[in-house]
Amino acid sequence: MNRISKTFSLFLTLILAGSILIFSLSTIYIQTVNAQYTTDGAGCPLGGYVNITSPTNTTYTTADTLSLSFDISSIFDNTIYQYNLSYSLDGGDKLQIPSNELTFSLPYGDVGALTPVNCAVSIGLPPLSEGTHQVEVYAIYTRISSNTNWPSQLFDNENVIFTINNGIPPVISNLSIANQTYLQSNLTLNFTTDKAVSWTGYSLDENQNVTINSNATILGLIAGPHNLTVYANDTLGNMGKQTVAFTVEKAQTAVSGNTAVSGNLSPIAIIVVMAVTVVFICLIVGLLRYSKHRNHSSHRSQSYPIPTLYRQLTGELSAVLLVHQNG
C-alpha cells in the first residue's frame, strides 16, 4: 500500500512540475505559436516576435534624430540560427541591417537548454519628409546548427505607422485680390498653396470664416475699405494665412457730349435703352421714307430737318439714362 501511495505521489509531483514548466515557458520565455512561422506557414513556438520600440504610432516634430529600434526575444542565439534582418520605409526596397548592429544578451542568465536570448537593434533612419510614414522590419532566421530538430528557417515581420510634422504652415501665394482700389462690387478670389491642404476659407472684415473648396467670388461688396484674410490648413493641422487690404469705389459714369452711359446698368435700364433705340431707328427710317416721297411729289423739299430731329431724340435718350442713373 505504501508503494502505491509513493508511486501516486511521485506521479502527481511530476504532473505538477511539468505544468509549472509549461506555464513558465509559455508566459515568460516563449511567445504564442503564431509569433514566428516557417516556410510552409506553420507556427513555431521557438521564440518571440519582432518588437519595434521606435518609432511608435505617434506624431514627431522632427525627423533629424529619429531612429529605428527593435528587439527580438527567443530561445536561440546566433550560434543556432543566422539572423538576417532588414527594413523598408513606405513600401520601398528592403535595406539590410549589418550583423554588427545586432546586440545579444541573456536577460535571465544562462538557465540551460531553454535560455531566453534577447537581440536588440538600433539604427538611425534617413531624413523623412513631412507626412505619414510606415516602417516595416523583416526577420529571417536560417538554421546553422547541425541539430535537425530545429526548423531549417523561421520568419517574422512587424510594422508601425507614424507621422512627421515640421510645424510649417502652408504658404499662400498668387492671391487674386490685391492692395488696390476696385470699381466693381464683385471680386473673384483665387490663390495657390505650396503644399496639400485639407481646408481653405476666408474672413472679410474680421467676420466669420467662410469655407471654400476652390476659387470663389465675393459678392455685394459695399463702397469703402475692406480687409480680407485667406486661410489654408494642411493635413497635419498647420494653419497658414495671408491678409490684404483693398478699397471698393462706385463705378464711374463716362459722359460724352449730351450722352451719359453708366458703367453698371441694371437689367431694367438695358431694356429701356433697347426700347428707346428701337423707337429711334423706326422714326429715322420713317422720316427717310417720308422725305423721299415728298421729293418725288414736289420740287421743293419740305421735309422735316433730319439733323434737328436727331439732336432732339439724342437729347431725350440721354435724359432717360440720366434719370435712371440718378434714381
> 160 CB contacts (<8 Å, ≥6 apart)?
52, 55, 56, 57, 134, 135
pLDDT tops 90 at residue 81: no
Give the model's pLDDT for residue 304: 47
Between 22 and 67, where is the model more confident? 67
Average pLDDT rounded to a whole number, residues 29-54: 58
Neighbours of 87 (CB within 10 A): 24
Percentage of the chain modeled with pLDDT above 90: 42
Looking at the domain covering 172-248, what would its CATH class be?
mainly beta
What integer pLDDT is reported at residue 79 of this predicted model?
80
Q: Is the pLDDT score of 149 beyond 70?
A: yes
The helix or strand, by DSSP H or E, that contains position 217, with its residue range, turns out to be strand 216-218
Quick one: cell of 174? 498668387
Of residues 110 and 244, the one with the higher pLDDT is 244
Out of 14-23, 167-176, 196-205, least confident range? 14-23
CATH of 28-164, one of 2.30.30, 3.30.300, 2.70.98, 2.60.40: 2.60.40
pLDDT of residue 36: 54
pLDDT tens-digit map of 154-194: 888 999 999 999 899 999 999 999 999 999 999 999 999 99
Neighbouring-strand partners of residue 157: 138
Q: Does position 300 have pLDDT exceeding 80, yes or no?
A: no
Domain with CATH 2.60.40.10 in the chain: 172-248
Would the pLDDT of 307 be above 80? no
CA distance 257 to 266: 23
Under the banding of pLDDT at 50, 70 and 90, the label for residue 288 is low
Residue 43: DSSP 8-state: B
* Alpha-carbon separation of residue 23 from 20, 27, 89 (angstroms): 5, 6, 38
Global pTM value = 0.57
At residue 91, the pLDDT reads 94
Q: What is the mean pLDDT of the chain?
A: 77
Q: What is the pLDDT of residues 100-143, one digit of tens each?
A: 999 989 888 887 767 888 899 999 999 888 889 999 999 998 88
How far is C-alpha 252 from the chain's CA centre?
Answer: 44
